[in-house]
A and B are shown apart, each in its own frame.
Chain A
Amino acid sequence: MSKPKMFEKPVGLKDYLPAAAKKLRQIERQTLDCMGRWGYEQIVTPSMEYYDTVGVASSTSDQKLFKLLNNRGTTLVLRSDMTSPIARVAASLLRDAPLPLRLSYHANVFRSIEEEAGREAEFFQTGVELIGDASADADAEVVALAIASLKAAGIERFKIAVGHVGFLNGLFEETLQGQAEAQEELKACLLGRDYVGYRERLAALGLSGGVSEELEGILRLRGGQEICDQAMQLSRNETAQASIRHLCEMWDVLKAYGVCDHVLIDLTMIGDFSYYTGMTFEGYAADLGFPVVSGGRYDNLLGQFGRPAPATGFALKTTRLLELVGLEPDGDDSAVLIGYDEAGRREALIEAGRLRDSGNTVVTERIDDGLTHSSLLAAAKPVVYKGKRYAEFLSYTGTLQEHTKGGDAT
């Protein structure tokens, strides 16, 4: 690559200008407050971790991790998600804290080799982890909280698709017993969303008509609670049935939360098999091509840090939520401008302090030119000064006798 031009930054990284930064903070606050009201406490962890601990344990593939060396030659990673760092903390610093733990976070995470536009190398995630509760109620709680958080961020039209890795594992184990390779291939097709390849491989396996039809039928297992009943009929396998029972129970809990309108069951929706161990889910908002939330159960992760415990959680893709809610029209003009000259300075700055203490935004500037003062005082509101708009202008000069009083500036 040629030497970068001065305005350039590495591909996939973004600046957030005031309007966007303000909105981002607002979404962060709204979602974290919502999580807080559900009893999730915020946690902050470092941006860098050891490759051999958090890096290896994370669900991010090796080639997508940003790796660097510290001064001793140890490999570090920039965190690629918050789940593994939180697992590390839960198993070490919080080792003696009683379970369940309810933790929330808002953090920037890093993924490399996402070279195309729209694929970010650094982005924000806001999420929760519920550690130490294996019940369907816990899984339903995080799904319901994901829904509440999306609503808190101002997203109205969205759907959450819920699946379960155990169903396919069980179904394949039953129908393709001993054919580990075929199972892997079929799962890889589903994970890669390649339904054509899935059907082709199924046909190539030369299974009996009934079984083949059954396995093709799962591509349509998508909808409400009735899907659970259909799936129940499909498999006698204990793992598969237990998964479906778990989903049915989750559905009942979600019904009690009153959020079923947003939820659909999709048994082809599978996360990474090596990471997720149970329920998985993804959230989609109208008008955005990429998922806005993803999560699921990962009961094997904490064991890797020496404190085996069931865990479930989700991460909102905060940066994508920002795209969805959009920015407010430019120009926050609720600020007050105070102009002063040397003689008026003391009084002006005292008044500015008083106004700030009562919650106003105040900009002060030394303006020695009396004409500017009088024209700003005469100007219609909002007052425009040096390209910015202000709700009010207050003048403090030694020569000008009267100045408009601060009063209720907002």
Chain B
Amino acid sequence: MSGRELLKVAMPKGRIYKQASKLFREAGLPIPEDFDDTRKLIIEAPEAGMSFIMAKPVDVPTYVEYGAADIGIVGKDVLMEENKDVYELLDLGIAKCRMSVIGLPDWKPVMHPRVATKYPNVASQFFREQGQQVEVIKLNGSIELAPMIGLADRIVDMVETGQTLRENGLVEMQTIFGITSRLIANRVSYRMKNGAIQSLCDRLQATIAARA
């Protein structure tokens, strides 16, 4: 492999991006500041030896699994939901939040439980493990609405501060798992570009350790 080949990094647009690019800069990777506001979809940073693909967060594991990107940054929530065959190399410790079961404060067991969520796989698996058979309803946004208008008796969603829940009179009933962003790698890239990926991993790991 030529040493000059850029490492293709799939970056999630939005919430995680700002924290991830800050972490990369702290780790001494020269990523230009004006990246943060660009609308371009592919951005090259040859001085850092990388090229960034700006992707919708749920698509990041797909890009990486197929090798369209060598590595990627993605929330554990997406990894759990998408269940792709990729290496999960590093817990970046950023974008911390949790996956929880949420409902109205006066929730009581119902005859035909219905759970609304953006994460149908996560929700089904969790309730199966709990020995409960529930009907999972996939929604794409404003999940909090579902219990308020009687579409579902509970929801499974990501909780960061809990502000939205409080404002809508909902309570967190149970935490399913904690979420942070992860560094993931393609199976082949991890071997073919191991030097570059391992050294990036080491730098990030040192930076994360210094933060803690």
A164-200 toward B: CB 8 Å interface, digit per residue (1/0)?
0000000000000000000000000000011111011
Contact of B187 among A194, A197, A200, A289 (CB under 8 A): A289
Bound form: Cα–Cα A195–B88 in Å: 6
A287 to chain B, nearest CB (A): 8
CB nearest neighbor in B for A264: B191
Q: Do B191 and A284 touch (CB < 8 A)?
A: yes
Residues of A within 8 A of B88 (CB): 193-197
* A195-B191 contact, Cβ under 8 Å, with A220-B198, A289-B66, A289-B68: no
Give the distance in Å from the alpha carbon of A118 to the alpha carbon of B85 in the complex: 13
The distance from the CB of A365 to the nearest CB of chain B, in whole angstroms, is 45
Query: At the interface, yes or no: A290 with Cβ under 8 Å from chain B?
Result: yes
Task: Check B145 for interface membership: any CB of A closer than 8 A.
Answer: no
Contact of B67 among A159, A193, A288 (CB under 8 A): A288
Kindly list chain B residues whose C-beta atoms are within 8 Å of the C-beta of A157.
Answer: 1
Residue of chain B at shortest CB distance from A158: B192
The CA-CA distance from A291 to B87 in the complex, in Å, is 14
Q: Within 8 Å CB of B191, what residues of A?
A: 159, 161, 264, 266, 282, 284
Chain B residues with a Cβ closer than 8 Å to the other chain, count: 21
Q: Is B186 an interface residue (CB 8 A)?
A: yes
A222 at the interface (CB under 8 A from B): yes
Cβ contacts under 8 Å, B68 to chain A: 289
A77 within 8 A of B: no
Within 8 Å of chain B (Cβ to Cβ): is A325? Answer: no
Interface SS majority for chain A: mixed
Closest-by-CB residue of A relative to B64 is A289
Chain B 165-198 against A: per-residue CB contact (8 Å), 1 yes, 0 no?
A: 0000000000000000010001111011010001
A220-B198, A288-B67, A289-B68 known; A193-B188 Cβ under 8 A: no
B188 adjacent to A285 (CB under 8 Å): yes
* Contact partners of B1 in chain A: CB under 8 A: 157, 286
CB–CB B182/A289 < 8 A: no
Cross-chain contact B192 with A195 (CB below 8 angstroms):
no
Q: Which residues of A contact B67 (CB under 8 A)?
A: 288-290
Which residue on B lies nearest to A199, using beta carbons? B91
A195 close to B90 (CB less than 8 A): yes
List, in ascending order, chain B residues with CB within 8 A of A199's CB: 91
Task: Provide the residues of chain A in CB contact with B186, threshold 8 Å.
Answer: 289
* A284 & B188 in contact (Cβ 8 Å cutoff): yes
Q: Which residues of B contact A197 (CB under 8 A)?
A: 88
**A159-B192, A290-B67 known; A196+B91 contact, CB < 8 A:** yes
Please report the C-alpha to C-alpha distance between residue A396 and residue B159 in the assembled complex, in whole angstroms: 82
Choose one: A196, A285, A288; the contact of B89 (CB below 8 Å): A196
How distant is A204 from chain B, measured CB to nearest CB, in Å? Answer: 13
Whether A222 and B194, one on each chain, are in contact in the complex, defined by CB atoms closer than 8 angstroms, is: yes
Q: Are A193 and B187 in contact (CB under 8 A)?
A: yes
Question: A90-101: contact bitstring with B at CB < 8 Å (1 yes, 0 no)?
Answer: 000000000000
Given known A-B contacts A157-B1, A288-B188, A290-B187, A193 and B85 have beta carbons under 8 A apart = yes
Residues of B within 8 A of A200 (CB): 91
Shortest beta-carbon distance from B103 to chain A in Å: 29
Complex Cα gap A197–B182 (Å):
11
Cβ-based interface call for B65 (8 A)? yes
Q: Which chain A residues border B187 with CB–CB below 8 Å?
A: 193, 284, 289-291
Chain B residues lying within 8 Å of A282, measured Cβ to Cβ, are 191
A291–B194 Cα distance when bound, in Å, is 15
Q: Is the CB of A291 within 8 A of B86?
A: no
Within the assembled complex, what's the spacing in Å between the Cα atoms of A195 and B191? 15
Complex interface: chain B residues within 8 A of A284 (CB): 187-188, 191-192
CA distance A404 to B198 in the complex (A): 67
A237 to chain B, nearest CB (A): 26
* B183 → A minimal CB distance (Å): 9
Determine which of B86, B87, B90, B192 lies in contact with A286 in the assembled complex, contact meaning CB atoms within 8 Å: B192
Which B residues are CB-close (under 8 A) to A291?
187-188
Closest to B5 in A: A286
- Report whether A289 and B65 are in contact in the complex, using a CB–CB cutoff of 8 Å: yes
> Are A193 and B86 in contact, CB atoms less than 8 angstroms apart?
yes
Q: How far is the CB of A143 from chain B (nearest CB, A)?
A: 15
Interface hits, A215-232 → B, CB 8 Å: 220, 222
Q: How far is the CA of A286 from the CA of B189 in the complex (A)?
A: 8
Residues from chain A with Cβ under 8 Å of B192 in the complex: 159, 284, 286
- Which of B85, B192, B194 has the largest number of chain A CB atoms within 10 A? B192
B66 contacts across to A, CB distance below 8 A: 118, 289
Q: Which residues of B contact A193 (CB under 8 A)?
A: 85-88, 187
CB distance from A24 to the nearest CB of B (A): 22
- Chain B residues whose C-beta falls within 8 Å of the C-beta of A266 in the assembled complex: 191
Q: Which of B85, B88, B90, B182 has the most CB of A within 10 A?
A: B88
Contacts of A264 in B (CB 8 A): 191
A-B contact pairs, 17 of them (CB 8 A): A159-B191, A161-B191, A193-B86, A194-B88, A196-B89, A196-B90, A196-B182, A220-B198, A264-B191, A266-B191, A284-B187, A284-B191, A284-B192, A286-B1, A289-B66, A290-B67, A290-B187
In the A-B complex, the 3 residue pairs with the smallest Cβ-Cβ separation, listed nearest first, are A289-B67, A284-B188, A193-B87
Q: List 6 other contacts, CB 8 Å, given A195-B88, A220-B198, A291-B187.
A: A193-B85, A196-B91, A266-B191, A284-B187, A289-B67, A290-B187
